[in-house]
A and B are shown apart, each in its own frame.
Chain A
Amino acid sequence: MTKRRKWTAIPGLLALAVGAVMLSAYSGASSSQNYSPEQPIHFPHTVHVQKLGMNCLYCHNAANKSMDPGLPAVSTCMGCHKLIGPDRPANDLHDNKPYHSTEIEKLYKFADVKSMGMDMGPNAKPIPWNRLHKLPEYVHFPHTRHINAGVTCQTCHGQIQKMQQVYQYASLNMGWCISCHVNGYSAQEGEEAAGYAAQQQGAGASPAAVTTASTERKKARYDCANCHY
């Protein structure tokens, strides 16, 4: 009997182990934080945002008025790049040396543009960007509410203006969302997250400009039906 009892314990233990594995697999504790896929065009946010100072909303133009932030249409890219072709004259972006951009070349291929100054061709194709940030479909995240409440983009997306290749900065797990809704969020925190404070300090700006941002923490609703419906 003892022998038999010893054996019967094993399936039970194994079942427990399997259960634990399954629970952890389905618990949602997994995250794609730090996911950083290669993109079809190595789009440099560093150049566009950091060096040229473009506002995020120039391309992601629905972020302040829709659930959906919006992705720039190919024509939006070509709005500027019609006149900024692959072969670049010397400018301050690249140490005042002329250079050739293979990435703009790729853009021209997608837009079916043969040479600088031409309009998009008939065989233009959308750029198949690899998606990073994806919430499950049972979560409804309104970008508009957050942007209009003064949450800076970088709070959730990280300092994209400094990323050579964009990666998923935050875990985007529910606990991460809730922590902000419960503990609140201040404008100062937002500026710090955006990296503007450090930048301004580095540029020799008056420290007062940084500290005028309010430290009052605004909290938000967090009952389930805010996001899950």
Chain B
Amino acid sequence: MSQDTPKSGVKRREFLKVLGASSAAIAAAGCAREPSGKLMPYLVSPDETVPGVSNYYATTCRECAASCGLIAETRDGRVIKLEGNPEHPLNRGAICVRGQAGVQGLYNPDRFRGPLARDGNTWKEITWNDALTRLSQAVAAARGKQSVFLNQHESGSFSTFLDAWLASFGFAPHLSVDFEANAATIEANRRTYGVAWPGLSFQDAKLIISFGADFLDSWGASVAHQLDFADARAKLDGAPRMVYIGPRRSLTGLNADEWIACKPGGELVIANALAGKATISQAAAESGADAAALQRLASELASSKPVLALAGTTGPDALEVALAVAAINQGGGAVGVTIKPAEAITAFEGMARPDQVLTAVEQMRSGAVGILFVRGVNPVHSLPKAANVADAIKKVGIKVSFSSYPDETTELCDLIIPDLHALESWGDAEPVKGTLSLQQPGMDPVFPTIGGSTGDALITVAKKDAAVGAKYPAADYRTWFISNFAGGAQALAAALPKGVVAGTLPARTVPAAAPMAAKPAPASQGDFFLITYPSVSLGDGRGANKPWLQELPDPVTKVCWTSWVEVHPETAQRLGVDRGDIVEVKTANGSVKAPVFVYMGVHKDAIAMPLGWGHRAAAPVPTFNPMKHKITDLQWGYGRYARDLSVNPLDLLPVATDGAGDVVLTVTKASVSKTGDNMILPSNEGSARQHGRGIAQAVTVDELNHPQEREKEELPGDASHAFLPGLRSPVAADAQGELGAPTAADHGTYKGLYDPNDPRGMTKRRWAMTVDLARCTGCSACVTACYAENNIPTVGAFWQNATYWADQKPGFNIARGREMNWIRLERYFEGNLDGKFGVDFEARFVPMLCQHCGNAPCEPVCPVYATYHSPDGLNVQVYNRCVGTRYCSNNCPYKVRYFNWFGYGEPDRKQYAFPEPLDWQLNPDVTVRGKGVMEKCSFCVQRIREAENRAALEHRDVKVDEFTTACAQACPSRAITFGDAADPNWSVAQLAKDRRAYHVFEELNTYTAVVYLRKVNHPAAGAAAPAAN
């Protein structure tokens, strides 16, 4: 054995030296004091602020056209969270995914930090004053020439201000653009009801028919519609039945009781048949829909009044469909009952049609346009590539962008004067008739190098011209805004705390638009209709630079960080492709490659692709590397999170418009071919099926009203109601101090921590939650709310993978099961198990979060007591105790514990999830977790403690329903209720006694604190009832 020579290059003596040196280093490090940094005081304390206590400002959301009301929570001068404004008539305190992500637009790391001027092929940082001088010169040079101003559509007085400014320089009024809005619906509404968007009442309807109108996705004011729809569904017995007609079952479609699948373009004949202008058999033959289902619907329609029929198709006949649907409404007694023109949503008034933008593009191409202004719109990405917007823009003399982000259109401009974010600027909106929603800054500008909003810039430019300047006595936009506000500064100051006030804005005087003519698409060749639709989270693409939205699994497909091609299972079989296989989709206009998502909710003759992805920089940009990134590097292609991510299906579409001037998004034919490549689709979904586990339970109305005696334990998770809620479980009850262990030596007299009189014994509380599945629509607003509240890192960017031997693929971490969504929205399919993939399937949505079990499987397996049960009923995760064995996660039947693999909260790592200034958003009340710890839903314990602290400060008890968790606050369906189940006065205690209540996996004796209320289905009369459970 002595002949053994060491194989390693390190000799024993060296090894000992290294060992000694390293232990000395460790010892030294251990003894050194942790640096505690500096404390920087204010120069002058801002009024009405207490350090460490939040201030709340009511303002208006600008993430889509609807202009919901927001409450911006501001801590120590920084906006840290957005919540809905309960006073606002549209969103009534709720908020959607995209609204919440507004804060990631404010703190986007790729936001322009100041004005830029083109210098050949590079960009030069210029001062604010220099930028305004250049703008003033550009405007002076362009006077007398044609101008185009493309502005993001937002209701409010800025549009009239802008028109007046343009007019004073002799320019044409601006185009108020929203590429997501359904122009056909708006045009039909205007012709039928005289308003752009009437108020919709789902609660008053007996039957809801949607012709591709995705009112839960992006059609209309989705939060307002969702609130009302959920209220309608919560009526259970008297709830309206909903039927969805269209070639693709969207999120809205999945919430329908019945889906009538038709070919793209088949909606018109069905609508005509239901309006009595065509026969059912003709409709069935032309649209490919099931004749029996149509017949049933027709007779149901005749007997269910009032009806609410909605149209939102995007084919070449969209306007005709919308007008036919209006006829159904008129026949169905809808007008004035379910459709209320008097309560119109005015936020959609004054919008330019996409064909006006296309006309402007053609004018630019002809070289007639002297100056182009762009603000908040990105036509290069949001219009079909065939429109060749980029080439047209290059022909314009001077291009000025007011965009905040390095998008495709801005990259072609000469001068960039970034606008302030909506959370940094003043404004107003008229979301519904007669109500103004005010917009005030929640904080000072993130980048002081941006000297003001676009309004400020325009006023300064006006002042540089003697003649025009006389019209602008106001120093800045804020002063202008106040002086134009009815009642002046005093009235504004009185209205701001609430954020809404009665009032109207003068309508914008838009000159009569050029006559519209539908521009039909050229005949296209291919086996499949290509359906494209705005993504629920990214919209037309403007959300793509916000990591929360990229990380949010799509509510329908549960896929994130990539686009996909939805293919019907039969088609997939025929093509020989499966989930994740990359296919090439080809049309006459181009081809893209994207992974397949096999989805039985898309018509056999169609494939579907979401919009929003596929941002590209015009000039090559080096691959993003967080370790080498300098903040002066411009991330063209819409920022690091969006650039080169997946594909934009608009590359495939021809330039065609419908009768209302909207771009046709469906009906183009495409061919699909297999490439042989494949990828793992990043998704947080385990299985789309429940496999009899009883996670998402449902009953039909009949079953609910005539409950059948079932044998105990007949269904998994279906224990008797006497057992409910499991809130009185042994451990939970013990926490209430009611039990000692009777077998103990002291005969149970010693109750220790759980004795109510023990000073350590807690309040007699059991924090609990109910989730009403009859209300839940699966919109996922709760998920983003949780990210915002709990400092959850996003992990899907391609550079956030392992440091060594890592695949640099977006979403790779999620494909490997490293996602971090403390609350996830599970989507299960029911029915269609016969292998025929018919239309008769059902989707159930279940928000799944830590169940805070009274008898938690995770707790006994933790070797270091890092997870334990708190006396107030919380299953607690103590990050500083956790050593990362992950035993708890292995033992959790709900799979709601998430492991921090790479130190996403540590700024010196490439996986850092909060690059400056995204970290400004972090909630100071919640620990930013380091590498190697388990984390999970805490029932927003920081909010519980905050409420307790506030109550103690005011010498009172916590009031009933005084506070709620972030998910419950955001929920636009009001499905989530949180509170103290041990106190019968709290809403949650009452809801937990509902006849529909059940626990998930009750048979495991986990005694969960989350109570689900079964979904209620409304099968068509005469149709086969879907299987229970």
Contacts and interface: CB of A to CB of B under 8 A. Distances in A.
Interface string B166-195: 000000000000000000000000000000
A76 interface: yes
Contacts of A10: 16
A144 B945 CA distance: 12
Contacts of A62: 50-53
Contacts of B679: none
Interface in B917-963: 925-928, 938, 941-942, 945, 949, 952-953
A73 B34 contact: no
Contacts of A1: 1
Given A221-B762, A229-B941, A66 B19 contact: no
A14 interface: yes
Contact of B938 (A11, A124, A229): A229
Interface string A49-73: 0000000000001101111101111
A25 interface: yes
A145 B26 contact: no
A221 B36 contact: no
A138 to B, nearest CB: 4
A4 B53 CA distance: 66
B870 to A, nearest CB: 5
Interface in A180-229: 181-182, 184, 218-226, 228-229
A144 B953 contact: yes
> Which interface residue of A76, A133, A225 has the most chain B CB atoms within 10 A?
A225
B33 interface: yes
A222 B760 contact: yes
Contact of A65 (B27, B50, B874): B50
Contact of B41 (A22, A67, A126, A148): A126
A148 B952 contact: yes
A75 B23 contact: no
A182 B41 contact: no
Interface string A95-132: 00000000000000000000000001000111111111
B125 to A, nearest CB: 25
B51 A229 contact: no
Given A76-B45, A120-B43, A142-B945, A228 B878 contact: yes
Nearest to A35: B33
Contacts of A219: 759-760
Contacts of B870: 223-225
A72 B50 CA distance: 11
A124 B41 contact: no
A24 B26 CA distance: 10
Interface in A1-32: 1, 4, 7, 10-11, 14, 17-18, 21-22, 24-26, 30, 32
A220 B53 CA distance: 23
B979 to A, nearest CB: 18
A140 interface: yes
Contacts of A132: 36
Given A142-B945, A221-B760, A18 B51 contact: no
A75 B46 CA distance: 11
A211 B31 CA distance: 43
Contacts of B39: 71, 128-131
A26 B942 CA distance: 27
A8 B53 CA distance: 60
B762 A129 contact: no
Contacts of B53: 62, 65-68
Given A68-B52, A70-B50, A73-B45, A144 B36 contact: no
Interface in B710-767: 753, 759-760, 762
A130 B38 contact: yes
Nearest to B1: A4
B1022 interface: no
A144 B881 CA distance: 26
B135 to A, nearest CB: 29
Contact of B52 (A7, A66, A220, A221): A66
Interface in B40-95: 40-45, 50-53
Contacts of A120: 43-44
Given A24-B30, A71-B41, A136 B880 contact: yes
Nearest to B44: A75
A94 interface: no
A140 B879 CA distance: 13
A224 B53 CA distance: 23
Contacts of B881: 224, 228
B654 interface: no
A148 B950 CA distance: 11
Interface in B3-45: 12, 15-16, 19, 22-23, 26-27, 29-31, 33-34, 36-45
Nearest to A15: B19
Given A4-B1, A18-B19, A134-B36, A74 B52 contact: no
A218 B23 CA distance: 45
B949 A70 contact: no
A66 B868 CA distance: 28
A92 interface: no
- Pick the 6 closest A-B CB pairs, nearest first: A25-B30, A68-B52, A219-B759, A134-B36, A66-B52, A73-B42
Interface of B: 1-2, 12, 15-16, 19, 22-23, 26-27, 29-31, 33-34, 36-45, 50-53, 753, 759-760, 762, 868, 870-871, 874, 876, 878-881, 925-928, 938, 941-942, 945, 949, 952-953
Given A65-B953, A66-B51, A223-B760, 5 more contacts: A65-B53, A66-B50, A67-B925, A225-B938, A228-B881
27 contacts: A1-B1, A10-B16, A17-B23, A25-B30, A30-B33, A32-B36, A62-B52, A67-B53, A67-B925, A71-B51, A73-B43, A126-B43, A127-B41, A129-B40, A131-B37, A131-B39, A137-B927, A138-B880, A140-B942, A144-B952, A182-B760, A184-B759, A223-B753, A223-B871, A228-B879, A228-B881, A229-B876
